[in-house]
A and B are shown apart, each in its own frame.
Chain A
Amino acid sequence: MLDSEVPQEGNVTLGGHRKALYARGADGKMHIVQSTGWEVEEIVTRQAVDDLNRLADEARQRVAAGQTSALEYHMHKARMDVPLLAQVTGLWQWRIRRHFRPDLFAHLSPSLLARYADAMGLTVAQLTKVE
């Protein structure tokens, strides 16, 4: 990649930040060039973020329909999946899946709620409702 070919496409996922890339100058030497981003990166990052948002949205609708608990919504919102939430909280995956049942979730102990809230960087009050 020549330094003139370094993409400057204003990738929005970088949030205005510029990345350093190595590219070849006219003298043939590699050096650092700052890049405002590449559309390819924007596409794959948006793809991942959109997929996570879709999961959170679907969970939100199911919470409203009484089919799942706020826990599932917040898990997706925190960009986690069940295996990761299990690792962070130290709970079994099957137990977490059980807590997706609204009736069970409504009766969780304060300490268990605190464990979930802490894992996702929320307060217990935030965890138990869906905005």
Chain B
Amino acid sequence: MMEFQHSQASHCESGVMSTMLRHQGLPISEPMAFGLSSAMSFAYLPIVKINGLPLVSYRMPPKFIIKGLQKPLGLKMRFETFRNPAAGTRRLDELLAAGEVVGMQTSVFWLPYMPEDLRFHFNAHNVLAFGRDTASGDYQLSDPVFEAPVSCPGEALQKARFAKGVLAPKGLLYYATGKPSQPDWAIVIPQAIKKTTRIMLDAPLPIIGVRGIRRLANAVERLAGQNDPARAKMFIGQVVRMQEEIGTGGGGFRFIYASFLQEAADLLGRPRLNELADALVEVGDEWREFALSAARMIRDREPLVPAKLADQLRRIADHEQTFFRDLRRAA
């Protein structure tokens, strides 16, 4: 068995998959795992509430990356969930004893190694277990957003794996059952890119993709009419927190995807994709400027003007629309 190697990533699920695949003998970067599974997206979900505020997501739902890499890489992943927490823990121990590296979906709140201020009830975090400490029995985890491997007591891990609420993990375990193969880049990359452009431009629901960004802009604009500045600040704070803090931000995901496009440009010998990567970095920077304006308004460093934020979001939507149309033509 190859010795397990941790590496830090920008986003948990793409990080877990890139580490797992490398362990299986197929070195794939985090951006490649992210791009190849067409994980970049935008969704504004006003009905899914977290602490009474709507969910905003800058990527596809949990498990999308894990599942989406199976086809292009000829990889077989096995998923197991459990009704009984004790059974879930037993199965994890069994797999670790058999030398597997096991992916898990967890809540952030119950992981004791997380910084206190980041421990919210967010259930779609991903980590890898690669062993147990012989002395303490604690699990050795590779949490992709951390610089080094961490350890976690069994009781806490069980609680994190069986947290309830929105996106409850139900003890989800996943691991590879077959060896991944080197794909034919010229086929799989253009396919993955086209899928992302379809999600961003053609999704039938008005809350997904570029239209979702405009829908969010409208919701932000309406905050002015509600005459409740405290609530308005909580709302825009939540949008920014989901953008920048949870997993990695709207800007962050755009930067990962830009990195993927650069890799794709080299693999396919298409310099046009490098130009598009540059354009996407600019869009990522606009997301960061939006976050900056929002934070300044929350802290009263500038007046709270929801219309200004809404305008910024609409400009981003315009630029993303142009970008994804260009990308579709180039793929």
Contacts and interface: CB of A to CB of B under 8 A. Distances in A.
A88 B164 contact: yes
Interface residues of B, number: 54
Interface stretch (A33-41, A60-68, A97-105): A33-41
Given A20-B10, A24-B281, A30-B259, A43 B299 contact: yes
Size bin of chain A's contact surface: 35 or more
B10 A30 contact: no
Contacts of B109: 79
Nearest to B292: A40
Contacts of B168: 87
Interface in B261-312: 262, 274, 277-278, 281, 284-285, 288, 291-292, 294-295, 298-299
Contact of B121 (A18, A45, A80): A80
B185 interface: no
B245 A44 contact: yes
B221 to A, nearest CB: 20
A20 B11 CA distance: 8
A48 B258 contact: no
B147 interface: yes
A43 B121 contact: no
Contact of B9 (A20, A83, A121): A20
Contact of B234 (A12, A34, A51, A80): A51
A24 B159 CA distance: 39
Contacts of A121: 110, 159
B30 to A, nearest CB: 8
B244 A41 contact: yes
A44 B147 contact: no
A47 B237 contact: yes
A19 to B, nearest CB: 7
Contacts of B262: 29-30
B272 to A, nearest CB: 15
Interface stretch (B57-65, B69-77, B92-100, B247-255): B247-255
B295 A84 contact: no
Nearest to A119: B164
Nearest to B282: A1
B233 interface: yes
Interface string A1-20: 10000000000111111111
A41 B168 CA distance: 25
Contact of A17 (B31, B110, B115, B244): B115
B223 to A, nearest CB: 15
Contact of B251 (A1, A31, A47): A1
Contacts of B117: 12-15, 45-46, 49
Given A20-B10, A30-B258, A44-B237, A79 B245 contact: no
A12 B117 CA distance: 9
Contact of B244 (A22, A40, A81): A40
Given A13-B115, A14-B118, A44-B240, A21 B234 contact: no
A102 B58 CA distance: 43
Contacts of A45: 117-118, 241, 245
B166 to A, nearest CB: 8
A124 interface: no
Given A34-B147, A40-B291, A48-B237, A14 B110 contact: no
Interface centre among B8, B166, B295 (most CB of A within 10 A): B295
Contacts of A39: 295
B106 to A, nearest CB: 14
A88 B115 contact: no
Nearest to B259: A30
Interface of A: 1, 12-24, 28-32, 34, 38-41, 43-49, 51, 79-81, 83-84, 87-88, 121
26 contacts: A14-B117, A15-B116, A18-B147, A22-B252, A22-B255, A22-B256, A22-B258, A22-B259, A31-B259, A32-B8, A32-B10, A40-B240, A40-B244, A40-B288, A40-B294, A40-B295, A44-B245, A44-B298, A45-B117, A47-B234, A48-B51, A48-B120, A79-B109, A80-B121, A84-B51, A84-B121
4 closest A-B pairs by beta carbon, nearest first, are A15-B115, A30-B259, A13-B117, A22-B255
